[in-house]
Chain A
């Protein structure tokens, strides 16, 4: 088990999720010889330098060839390794979409696929590097769990849990360096079990990845205005924790989903699909990336353009909430 202490939490947060990943994988690999890292020329970007030095035999670089990364990872899983296949989300999931479906979905090889720098994390690299579709795509493929950690500590917990979990997992990394801290101390993380971070009485905000922290800040703004919000960390988008939502349906006047992903097919889509099956449910407000390619900019600029900054989330929620009365 990796130590969850204030120093580690601070260091991981400074590094951001991409580099924290490499650190965590190194620690997990020290305790489990079956762990291998397979990357398509992104060992440095994912903090695997030390991993490569300590375990040169367990770091495989395919060059810039994401499809081959998936095939090789699947074969290693077949031979009882636990491969973590690591590339930018836009290329892991989009370029290698069919190998992902084939090897992880259809063939059910025990691959842990990592999507670095999803959402707008790639900033000035622009639209080819943004990943707004990964949750939607993987969600449509049978048999792959999807985790989007709220902060670096949750990433570490998710990595440990995924290594233990038998079956394909996609882990979506969001945010940049100085990744805000949601979890200040150790806690119980379980794949498929969402976490209620704050209990409110009026509305329910269900967030994932980087938007968990922004939703907490938004809820504080709303609190001051007399709107009491429950905030949930839906770190696992598939399988969706229906039970925890079920509990909110009767007590909440508005359900809000917040994600750094397209409004189409992501967390909001998953919750909408679930709510459709319930006879009486609150109105659903889905916040996320707009359904269009926009002029590129840095991370905070792009969040702002898509109204995903805390005050913008609060404002949109307030407007919707007041319109219900």
Chain B
């Protein structure tokens, strides 16, 4: 398998930069608010994929043999934009158009290949089928890319996730990696209270290779994604994460699922993450 070769340091630096940018953009979004909790839980996963693993050419986002990334959990869109910036696909200036009326980087991302956005999200449960199709198409054409798709644990409530979950092992899609952001919270509360399911057993039962990792451990993520897939099997990386990771008052606090970030809390959050980084100049 061909993968990118970003180092642990490179990915950790990217993760810090991305977290800071998520907060800066949430502040700019003002009363519109942002999906802070679910963005902060996927930062390391995205940093590792974009800066350490995926074969991409930042200057040519439509390069035919690029690895494809599908963000199925739309709540992570803002985090994805910061990853696009950290990997050099979009500029900081482009990143800061986030959330503008009619802009290219809306709250839920909308397919825009020139900016490296492969998929339109917002409706949960539709990313895995598309990713499965992309992986199958690669087998048909011989164009040797890998496909990564990021789902939420709450998202796995959707029945439409499990149709492609059946297909991918049937089609022996070893070029497909699904990642489940297991932050254990969804809109109405703890995932185990809303719908108590045995995710690990379910994926295994459907025929996937299941790998469980600490979703905030860059070294572990790099190691797992660099492992060769089992011949003929898709794999799912179940990443244990903390919703709101990095900001103590947001961590495991579901109030931050989608919320506005007022200035004083922004300052407190930034102090925790960097201690010194200045706010983006809004003028």
Report A's interface with B, CB cutoff 8 A. 36, 57-58, 60, 62-63, 65, 67-68, 70-76, 78-79, 81, 98-99, 102-103, 106-107
Contacts and interface: CB of A to CB of B under 8 A. Distances in A.
Nearest to B127: A71
18 contacts: A57-B140, A58-B140, A68-B160, A70-B129, A71-B164, A74-B130, A75-B134, A75-B136, A76-B133, A76-B136, A78-B133, A79-B143, A81-B140, A99-B129, A102-B123, A102-B126, A106-B110, A106-B120
A22 B2 CA distance: 39
B192 interface: no
B120 A71 contact: no
Interface in B116-160: 119-120, 123, 126, 128-134, 136-138, 140-141, 143, 160
Q: Does more than half of chain B's interface fall in helix, strand or loop, or is it mixed?
A: helix
Contacts of A98: 123, 126
A72 B136 contact: yes
B126 A72 contact: no
Contacts of A73: 133
B123 A68 contact: no
A62 B168 CA distance: 10
A103 B137 contact: no
A71 B164 CA distance: 9
A70 B130 CA distance: 8
Please provide the 9 A-B residue pairs with the shortest distance between their CB atoms, ordered closest to farther.
Answer: A75-B133, A71-B129, A72-B133, A68-B163, A79-B137, A65-B163, A75-B134, A71-B130, A67-B160
B268 interface: no
Contacts, number: 79
B137 A75 contact: yes
Interface in B2-44: none
Interface in B91-125: 110-111, 119-120, 123
A75 B128 CA distance: 11
Q: Which of B130, B133, B160, B163 has the most CB of A within 10 A?
A: B133
A103 B167 CA distance: 18
B132 A72 contact: yes
A63 B166 contact: yes
A185 to B, nearest CB: 38
A74 to B, nearest CB: 6
A60 B137 CA distance: 11
Interface residues of B, number: 25
Nearest to B170: A63
Contact of A67 (B110, B129, B170): B129
A58 B136 CA distance: 11
A107 B134 CA distance: 15
A57 B141 CA distance: 10
A62 B123 contact: no
Given A57-B140, A102-B126, A106-B120, A71 B111 contact: no
Nearest to A79: B137
Contacts of A107: 111, 119-120
A102 B120 contact: yes
B167 A72 contact: yes
Contacts of B170: 63
B217 to A, nearest CB: 31
A99 B132 CA distance: 14
A75 B123 CA distance: 17
B167 A75 contact: no
A103 B130 CA distance: 9
A319 B166 CA distance: 56
A70 B143 CA distance: 22
Contacts of A103: 126, 130
Contacts of B111: 107
B102 to A, nearest CB: 16
Contacts of A65: 163, 166-167
B120 A68 contact: no
Given A62-B163, A62-B167, A65-B163, A76 B130 contact: no
A81 B130 contact: no
A55 to B, nearest CB: 11
Contacts of A63: 166-167, 170
Nearest to B136: A72
Contacts of B160: 67-68, 99
Contacts of B137: 75-76, 78-79, 81
A70 B131 CA distance: 12
A65 B164 CA distance: 9
Q: Which of B126, B136, B163, B164 has the most CB of A within 10 A?
A: B163
Contacts of A58: 140
A68 B126 CA distance: 9
A63 B171 CA distance: 12
Contacts of A71: 126, 128-130, 132-133, 164
A63 to B, nearest CB: 7
Contacts of B138: 79
B129 to A, nearest CB: 3
Contacts of B110: 106
